[in-house]
Structure 1
Amino acid sequence: MKELIVTFGGLFGGLAVIFGAFGAHALKKRFTEDQLKSFETGVKYQMYHALMLVFTGITFPFIETSQILMGWCFIFGIIIFSFSIYGLTLSAARGKKMRFLGPITPLGGILLVIGWILFTINAAKYALYL
């Protein structure tokens, strides 16, 4: 499981760099200022949580259920939060906004928050053993 967490962290981190460059260069001309800000928010949150996946994958053994759940919350939170923002902004720029993604984005945010809560619990437990 540790290897999977670190691999997803690296994959999401690399994609965040690619998406960030794509947004800064290719989409800058096609997006409104608000769309660009939304897209950048998706990229930032993706990178923050990609780094968190790498950090937790290195730090924790991922043998406890709460650690495994934390990893999946971050993975699915990134997918649901950031990728729904990408879908919303790209589709809006093409004049065919996929409105069904709007209510999905907060679900990804909730998963990210749950991941952080589980991280805090696991970090506190880990600190007690040091």
Structure 2
Amino acid sequence: MPRPAHAARWIVAGAVFGALAVGLGAFGTHTLRTRLSPHDLETWRTAVRYLQTHALALVGAGLFVPPHPRARRLADVAGATMVAGTILFAGAVAVLAVGGPRWLGAVAPVGGTLLIAGWIALAAAAWTSFRNGPRGSDATCPSPDGTPQDASEAPR
């Protein structure tokens, strides 16, 4: 099945988050290590870990293109909530680590809640896809030459 163009946005977001995580991790190790307290440095590292973890999750969400329409929508919800949650959570935690305004402490739980929702949506997408097959009861899939065939006849 060809990958829908919209799925690429989650791969791109994951790749950008991955690059940011590497850069911010290096910045923390080489620059902030001598400028932050051990507690604040660990807070910084927490932000970077969440950024790394959800970078990989977003790439996975982009690669997982379920054939079932409802599962595709759920995978998109997963990607969108993970992007928003990562920005809010990792962003707030990182800014707090370097002495940002304390009110950002109230933003991090919102981001964390969105991350949890993203993981649940991804699980629901997978469950829906595997439970309902390619298109529910209308299960067809392309043959090696691209022509539709009954899913039960597909090579395994």
Instruction: Give yes or no for TM over 0.5.
Output: yes
Cα distance between partner residues in 2 of 1:11 and 1:61: 23
Amino acid at match of 1:17: V
Cα distance between partner residues in 2 of 1:35 and 1:101: 15
RMSD: 1.6
The alpha-carbon deviation at position 61 of structure 1 amounts to 4.9
- Specify the SS of the correspondent of 1:74: helix
| 1:77 and 1:107 in contact (8 A); partners too | yes
The alpha-carbon deviation at position 38 of structure 1 amounts to 0.6
Q: 1:22 aligns with which of 15, 18, 27?
A: 27
Gaps of 5+ in 1: none
2:115 matches 1:107? no
Counterpart for residue 145 of structure 2: none
Counterpart for residue 42 of structure 1: 47
Q: How does 1:86-125 map to 2 (within 5 A)?
A: 86-90=94-98, 92=99, 97-125=100-128
| 1:77 and 1:108 in contact (8 A); partners too | yes
More helix per residue = 1
Amino acid at match of 1:48: T
Amino acid at match of 2:84: F
Moved runs in structure 1, 4+ residues, more than 4 A? none
Cα distance between partner residues in 1 of 2:9 and 2:79: 9
| 1:6 and 1:57 in contact (8 A); partners too | yes
The higher radius of gyration belongs to: 2
**Scaled by the length of structure 2, what TM-score is found?**
0.75
**Scaled by the length of structure 1, what TM-score is found?**
0.90
Amino acid at match of 1:52: A
More strand per residue = 2
Show CA shifts across 1:41-70 (max 9, x none): 000011100000001101125963322211
When the two structures are aligned, how many residues end up with a matched partner?
Answer: 125
Please, which moves more after superposition, 62-71 or 37-46? 62-71
